[in-house]
Amino acid sequence: MFDRRNFLKSSTLLAGGLWLSPNLIQARNKIAPSDKVRVALFGGKNMGFNILKHHLALPEVECVALCDIDQNILDSRIKEVEEITGKKPDRFTDFRKLLERTDIDAVIIGTPDHWHCLIAVAACQAGKDVYVEKPMANSIGECDLMAQAASKYDRIMQVGQQQRSGQTFIESRDLVKSGYLGKIRKVNIWSNFNYGLGNLIAPPTSVPTGVDYDFWLGPAPKRDFNPNRFHGSWRHFWDYGGGLMSDWGVHLLDMAIWVEQNPVAPAKVLTYANNVDMENRDRDTFDTMNVLFPKKDFLINYDMNGGLQTGPYGKPYGIAYVGEQGTLVVNRSGYEIYPEWDPEAKAPKIESKKLEGAKESHNLHVANFVDCIKTRNQPICPPEAGRIAALHAHIPNIAARVGAEELVWDDTKREFVGNAAANELIWPSYREPWVLPKV
């Protein structure tokens, strides 16, 4: 049974950097070997390692292995884990070799998006539970494969859409679904971030020492090494990611989908996309997008602007649930309700409510995953939820890439209606010797 009090204590130690606190070490030492959860990490550069640290804040979790194609990162992260836990994890550069280990309960996938599917399906087939960063995969078809694999092999799979575990979004969802705002007419979403422009154009360089670049490319097309397509900025190229739309969009769109009565993939998507700022910029993805999702319950309106940092209600990003009684505006720092005015009663139609100073929720999302590993309960963001959220990002990206203002998606047949060019982008083309996994 998940012990929330001990978890919160551990998380406090984590936040303060007190990894080797006697309290945490003593808590770890008290865990029987049979009760330990042994994890391995694929991709240690950024978010993957942060997620691993949240795992290690739980006393029952032990990291037994790390895998990366960059020896520099691998050396650094192995040292950090050893300092944190007192135990040195084993090192791997090939995910397939790591998955042969029989003493691993779960894996964390923090690689670029184009690797999610291959590793996740192989992990499920090897009997490992999976925590995979969002978006679930880099294509619609790969999301399907991952969901099928989790089901067929009876694996726990948590998609890293951690806002589902955060107080501010849970309370917002409950307020919306309770009817407090009245009937919801639309959900307005905006995300404005400078990094959405991508990096300035840079020439190709030699591959950094210690990097197995061909393995990093994996199933993606062969290309000369360029730092703009590598650590951090890879997401601006279709071969590896989906830009700002799939990076932030999938998080925020998930919060609109979450309040639907019966969340489903979008049946119709209306998209406007452009690259307004292309001067000296190195990217495939779009810096400016507006997308309409006409849903059964309400309209979702998504507005994205790479290179900008301001937005409605003084927030660079956020969600506004627009109801007949009032509008609830929320982002990761909190929420506030703006009531509608009743001219007859000369008073607000509802009371305003506010939550400020909310904390980030990666730790709680990880704790939910670890608890589900032990109980075999469904996690808060299971594969189908991850798939649906990813489709809300992938379909507009596909529409923009093929120049279609409107796309109709048949989720039963898993195809676009009447658009052959869009259907060509449902599945990626893997570079040999890599092949799409079979489930």
The CATH number that applies at residue 408 is 3.30.360.10
Question: Helix, strand or coil for residue 184?
Answer: strand
The answer to whether 171 touches 414, Cβ cutoff 8 Å, is no
pLDDT at 1: 36
pLDDT at 21: 56
One domain for residues 238 and 140: no
**Total residues found in the chain within this entry:** 439
pLDDT at 290: 98
One domain for residues 277 and 181: yes
One domain for residues 129 and 237: no
Extract the residue ranges of the chain whose pLDDT is less than 50: 1-19
One domain for residues 137 and 171: no
**What tokens appear for 377 in the block?**
């309960």
**What tokens appear for 291 in the block?**
């997308």
208, 258, 373 from 138: Cα distances, Å: 25, 21, 25
In a domain, 221, yes or no: yes
One domain for residues 332 and 229: yes
Pairing of strands 406-410, 268-274: antiparallel
One domain for residues 182 and 108: no
DSSP string, 293-334: EE-SS-EEEEEEEET----GGG-SEEEEEEESSEEEEEETTE
One domain for residues 187 and 109: no
pLDDT at 278: 75
Pairing of strands 288-294, 268-274: antiparallel
> Distance (Å, rounded) from C-alpha 331 to C-alpha 64?
36
The answer to whether 389 touches 257, Cβ cutoff 8 Å, is yes
In a domain, 343, yes or no: yes
pLDDT at 34: 74
Neighbouring C-alpha atoms within 13 Å toward the C-beta of 66: 28
In a domain, 373, yes or no: yes
In a domain, 73, yes or no: yes
One domain for residues 160 and 175: no
pLDDT at 151: 98
pLDDT at 25: 62
What single-letter amino acid sits at 130?
Answer: V
In a domain, 80, yes or no: yes
Domain that holds residue 100: 4-164+369-382
In a domain, 212, yes or no: yes
One domain for residues 263 and 397: yes
Q: What is the CATH number of the domain that holds 95?
A: 3.40.50.720
The answer to whether 303 touches 222, Cβ cutoff 8 Å, is no
| Overall number of domains in the chain | 2
Rounded to two decimals, the pTM is 0.94
| E strands present in 124-198 | 129-132, 157-159, 184-193
- Tell which residue, 278, 293, 245, has the closest CA to residue 397: 245
Q: Which helix (H) or strand (E) holds 105?
A: none
Tracing tokens 């590896």 back to the chain, one arrives at 240
pLDDT at 23: 64
**What tokens appear for 429 in the block?**
């083309």
**What tokens appear for 139 in the block?**
């294509």
One domain for residues 256 and 405: yes
Name 304's bridge partners.
Answer: 191, 289
**What tokens appear for 415 in the block?**
């195809």
The answer to whether 136 touches 383, Cβ cutoff 8 Å, is yes
One domain for residues 396 and 261: yes
318 Cβ contact list (under 8 Å, min separation 6): 189, 190, 252, 311, 312, 329, 330, 331
In a domain, 341, yes or no: yes
In a domain, 364, yes or no: no
One domain for residues 180 and 77: no
